[in-house]
């Protein structure tokens, strides 16, 4: 069995399942996206140029359909349908659209803003099943999706988000944790050192409210609040990202958990290459629209595109299984592994990472992560 070097601040690199061959990296797109491309997508359009970015894509994008003329005809028909549906929404793509590539256009909603740049990033998935787009202009944030079949199109506007530097610990009224909250975490086997490294704070105006600070490239970009009684809310007007995002910069393997305390628990087990989803788990797997997981995965796709193995350590209940399925569908099931929590007693299993840490200790928690298995879909209820 592969051994993880116990280092409280060094991420896991090429250690878990070292006997498994390296897999092709996937991309953060909806469940039917093909994970066969070998290069990451380009960044959002630059605000300093009026020219579209040149997509960085493999040489043979259409290899799956080039083998037969029938396949090409079917794909072409799908793309034609998508173009017609997008034109009804104002997206006029006069150029030939190639599935699997990123294309950049002037947004029909904001016209590129005052700089008049091509801020609309559009992508058709490999099999031509649907097209998806997003405007990266901060004042617009238009997003949408159209399908080649008879499913209803989706389009709307993302919330206006606060730019880097617009929030700070002072503006949010945060202060270091007091002894009462430090003791609260200690009961859950979370050390003060781990709390400090992750900048866990509290509201100065409400002493019993924990503040999990969300940071990207070292900058404070969001905050999630939690009371001891497990009431949650997030700072308004901030972009949703994964908690602990900076801990997975330039790593090959990551662990995704369902809550901030679970992320801190894995750090106590020596695993820092861990992130938490920002808003818990859905009750069921979604089959339409844009589920919440897709929004924060998109915001972190630059980090996630570089990852070759993803260990899903979500909760063991029905909602946790639904979350694992949502994540695996969008991140690529071929690069996902699933943690199976051990038995608590004869009648039930431990629910999450913190329960295992509290009752079995850090070594046992690390062993559970090491024993994760290649992802197999769970049978969960779906929204029809």
Q: What is the pLDDT of residues 230-287, one digit of tens each?
A: 899 998 878 889 999 999 998 999 999 999 999 999 999 999 999 999 988 787 776 6
Spans of the chain below 50 pLDDT = 1-43, 45-68, 160-161, 163-164, 379-384
pLDDT for position 157: 64
Percentage of residues of the chain with pLDDT beyond 90: 39
pLDDT for position 3: 44
pLDDT for position 44: 52
pLDDT for position 12: 40
- H/E/C letters for each residue in the chain? CCCCCCCCCCCCCCCCCCCCCCCCCCCCCCCCCCCCCCCCCCCCCCCCCCCCCCCCCCCCCCCCCCCCHHHHHHHHHHHHHHHHHHHHCCCCCCCCCCCCCEEEECCCCCCCCCCCCCCEEEEECCCCCEEEEEECCCCCCEEEEEECCCCCCEEEECCCCCCCCCCCCCCCCEEECCHHHHHHHHCCCCCHHHHHHCCEEEECCCCCEEEEEEEECCEEEEEEEEECCCCEEECCCCCCCCECHHHHCCCCEEEEECCHHHHHHHHHCCCCCEEECCCCCCCCECCCCCCHHHHHHHHCHHHHCCCCEEEEECCCCHHHHHHHHHHHHHHCHHHEEECCCCECCCCCECCCHHHHHHHHCHHHHHHHHHCCEECCCCCCCECC
């Amino acid at each position: 069995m592969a051994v993880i070097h116990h280092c409280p601040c060094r991420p896991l690199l090429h250690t878990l399942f070292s006997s498994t061959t390296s897999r092709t990296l996937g991309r953060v797109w909806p469940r039917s996206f093909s994970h066969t491309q070998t290069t990451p997508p380009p960044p959002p359009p630059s605000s300093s140029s009026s020219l579209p970015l040149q997509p960085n894509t493999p040489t043979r994008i259409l290899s799956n359909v080039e083998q037969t003329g029938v396949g090409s005809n079917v794909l072409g028909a799908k793309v034609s349908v998508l173009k017609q549906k997008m034109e009804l929404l104002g997206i006029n793509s006069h150029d030939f659209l190639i599935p699997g590539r990123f294309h950049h256009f002037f947004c029909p909603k904001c016209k590129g803003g005052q700089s008049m740049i091509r801020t609309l990033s559009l992508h058709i998935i490999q099999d031509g099943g649907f097209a998806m787009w997003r405007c990266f202009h901060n004042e617009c944030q238009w997003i949408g999706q159209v399908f080649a079949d008879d499913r209803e199109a989706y389009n709307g506007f993302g919330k206006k988000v606060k730019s880097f530097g617009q929030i700070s610990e002072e503006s949010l009224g945060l202060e270091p944790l007091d002894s009462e909250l430090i003791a609260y975490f200690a009961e859950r086997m979370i050390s003060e050192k781990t709390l400090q490294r992750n900048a866990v704070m509290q509201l100065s105006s409400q002493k019993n409210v924990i503040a999990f600070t969300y940071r990207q490239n070292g900058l404070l970009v969001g905050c999630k609040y939690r009371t001891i009684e497990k009431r949650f809310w997030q700072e308004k007007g901030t972009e949703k990202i994964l908690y602990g995002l900076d801990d997975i910069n330039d790593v090959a393997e990551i662990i995704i958990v369902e809550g901030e305390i679970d992320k801190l628990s894995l750090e106590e087990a020596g695993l820092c290459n861990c992130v938490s989803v920002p808003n818990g788990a859905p009750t069921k797997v979604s089959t339409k629209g844009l589920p919440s997981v897709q929004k924060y995965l998109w915001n972190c796709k630059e980090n996630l595109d570089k990852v070759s193995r993803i260990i899903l350590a979500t909760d063991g209940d029905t909602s946790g299984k639904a979350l694992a399925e949502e994540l695996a569908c969008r991140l690529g099931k071929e690069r996902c592994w699933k943690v199976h929590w051990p038995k608590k007693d004869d009648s039930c299993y431990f629910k999450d990472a913190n329960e295992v840490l509290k009752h079995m200790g850090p070594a046992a928690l690390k062993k559970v992560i090491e024993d994760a298995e290649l992802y197999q879909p769970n049978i969960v209820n779906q929204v029809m």
